[in-house]
Amino acid sequence: MEKFYLTTAIDYVNGAPHIGHAYEKILTDIIARHYRQRCDDVYFLTGTDEHGIKIQKTAAAQGITPKELCDENAQKFKNAWNALDIDYNKFIRTTDDYHEKIVQKIFDKLLKQGDIYKHSYEGLYCSGCECFLNAKDLTEDGLCPDHLKKPEVVKEENYFFKLTKYKDAIIKHIKEHPGFIVPEFRANEVINQLEDIQDISVSRAKSNVQWGIDVLGDEEQSIYVWIDALSNYITALGYDNENPSEMMNKYWPADVQVIGKDILKFHSIYWPAFLMALDLPLPKHIFAHGWITIDESKMSKSLGNVISPTSVLESFNLEHPDAFRYYMATSAPCGRDGNYSDDDFKEKVNAHLANSMGNLLNRTLSMLVKYFDGEVKAEFKCENPLAKKALGTVQIVKNHFDNFEIAEAGQEIISLVDAANKYVQDNAPWTLAKEEKMTECGQVLVNVLDIMCIIASLIYPYCPNIASDMAKQLSFDLTTKLDELTADNIKVGKLISKEDIKPVFLRVDSELADKSAKK
């Protein structure tokens, strides 16, 4: 694998980030970190979508300029991703000067080659979706099904993109590339939407939407959201149809584009059509994740259940975001909806990260210190009965990631932890020590510690701080590529002293955790 390029959707900045935004960024960051364990060149793009009528109206209501609103809220997203250890390579803003100039050139190219044309239109416009809807798309009450608001009748002369021209080619691509849309069960949904697809408006009259990128040569029109927003995936790489950039040549097509299921239509129909019109290859995979509900209810400002991604860290006094990252990433099977609740969060992370994984490492190292003063002797190195399962788990985890099954991969890692815990219970090193079978006791402990190195490597994308603490206590090089992992990781000699053994994750409701946070 020479390179791996992945993107998230860019978040709309008419408000602050919430837990749904965080879910997508955490999933993508975990994918990026995993592939950095397999590939030397991973490029991870995220950013913010900053044009359109909602920004214009929100800024006016607050008595500030649209750019001031964008600057303020874009920083909130950056701060949130920093708090969640989202390790992206580039953060693009659609108000970035280079992006706006390239978007104008893309629009101009498509206009000149006949893929864009001017047309008078009257239709039902949903400002929440930022798109025109067909009457058949509405509820029985005539409301937008996503925003439950009545769309307004808009009559304008706009520029339209010939989406119908690319309909057959998109259907053909989806059918010939089963993994293009992930999960695959959403492919039929997209094909059904394509059956009666219409050409789409790609500009708005300045009389209605002032906050947008100007159409070159037409001062009365603003470039509409879809060409503007979707193009970020290539403008971030310096796309130029006249002078292809080195970055563009190196990273495009994207290996995976991670989005929410609510914008799948735009990424699996509009975006491929734009790319075909630009004579560019399509991304290898569009991964549409599900939604996160709060206590089994859809997030809603009116219900007051919109959760800030950093509020969970604050309410549980979490020193680092690993527990939240792990919980969110394992909250739903691939492409399905998940749920967040405080009680489930506490129960799951305590069970998996503190009781199973953290306690296994802590007690194994403690026994090594108690019985052998923290020293690994040569006779402790033997054939490891856990090796086959551990190395097999590495391959299973890789396969899950290749299908973007992040929760499923997490379950496999915890299954390996459970197997190591069972091995300790079955072989009872404390009993072996009592019976003075010291070589056998040391072998059991070192076998477990060798596997803990593999567990640290596998859990790293989910829990980078916990994994780093584990690796430090095990003297294990966490930069080891997954394909180079073995079951022989612990070196002969002094491994650790009593004072260096520390819990890698404290139970979120423990007295120690509270004291640690208050220091």
> Are residues 130 and 267 both part of a single domain?
yes
Distance (Å, whole) CA 414 – CA 154: 54
pLDDT, averaged across the chain = 93
> Are residues 422 and 279 both part of a single domain?
no
Catalytic residue among 18, 51, 320, 400: 18
70 is a catalytic site residue? no
Structural domains in the chain (count): 2
Q: Does 454 reside within a domain?
A: yes
**What are the pLDDT digits (tens) for 215-261?**
999 989 999 889 999 999 999 999 998 888 999 999 999 999 999 99
Long-range Cβ pairs for the range 308-311 (8 Å, 24+) = 308/16, 308/17, 308/18, 308/19, 308/80, 309/17, 309/18, 309/19, 309/21, 309/22, 309/80, 309/83, 309/84, 310/79, 310/80, 310/83, 310/84
The pLDDT of 162-171, averaged and rounded, is: 97
Catalytic residue among 51, 78, 99, 126: 126
131 is a catalytic site residue? no
| Amino acid (one-letter) located at 125 | Y
Q: Does 308 reside within a domain?
A: no
- Is the pLDDT score of 515 beyond 60? no
Q: Does 299 reside within a domain?
A: no
| Position with higher pLDDT, 131 vs 279 | 279
> Are residues 248 and 342 both part of a single domain?
no
**What are the pLDDT digits (tens) for 19-42?**
999 999 999 999 999 999 999 999
- Is the pLDDT score of 281 beyond 70? yes
> Are residues 328 and 472 both part of a single domain?
yes
In this prediction, residue 125 has a pLDDT band, given cuts at 50, 70 and 90, of confident
Beta bridge mates, 494 = 375
Q: Does 300 reside within a domain?
A: no
| Position with higher pLDDT, 246 vs 141 | 246
Q: Does 303 reside within a domain?
A: no
Q: Does 302 reside within a domain?
A: no
pLDDT of residue 305: 62
The pLDDT of 177-202, averaged and rounded, is: 94
Catalytic residue among 21, 289, 320, 389: 21
> Are residues 329 and 447 both part of a single domain?
yes
334 is in which domain, residue-wise? 322-518
- Domain containing residue 405: CATH number: 1.10.730.10
**Phi, psi torsion values for 122, nearest 5 degrees:** -125, 125
> Are residues 408 and 458 both part of a single domain?
yes
pLDDT of residue 285: 98
> Are residues 350 and 486 both part of a single domain?
yes
400 is a catalytic site residue? no
pLDDT of residue 104: 97
In this prediction the pTM is: 0.93
Q: Which of 250, 277, 294 is the last residue of a domain?
A: 294
> Are residues 371 and 436 both part of a single domain?
yes
Burial classification of residue 350, based on how many CB atoms lie within 10 Å of its CB (0-12 exposed, 13-18 middle, 19 or more buried): buried
> Are residues 338 and 289 both part of a single domain?
no
Q: Does 349 reside within a domain?
A: yes
> Are residues 280 and 338 both part of a single domain?
no
| Position with higher pLDDT, 121 vs 351 | 351
- Is the pLDDT score of 72 beyond 70? yes
- Domain containing residue 231: CATH number: 3.40.50.620
**What are the pLDDT digits (tens) for 400-430?**
999 999 999 999 999 999 999 999 999 999 9
In this prediction, residue 302 has a pLDDT band, given cuts at 50, 70 and 90, of low
Catalytic residue among 144, 334, 441, 463: 144
How many CB atoms are located within 10 Å of the residue 348 CB? Answer: 17
Residue with tokens 């991304």: 283
Q: Which of 294, 312, 343 is the last residue of a domain?
A: 294
The pLDDT of 438-450, averaged and rounded, is: 98
Q: Does 278 reside within a domain?
A: yes
Alpha-helix runs per DSSP H in 66-179: 66-83, 97-112, 167-176
> Are residues 285 and 329 both part of a single domain?
no
> Are residues 254 and 356 both part of a single domain?
no
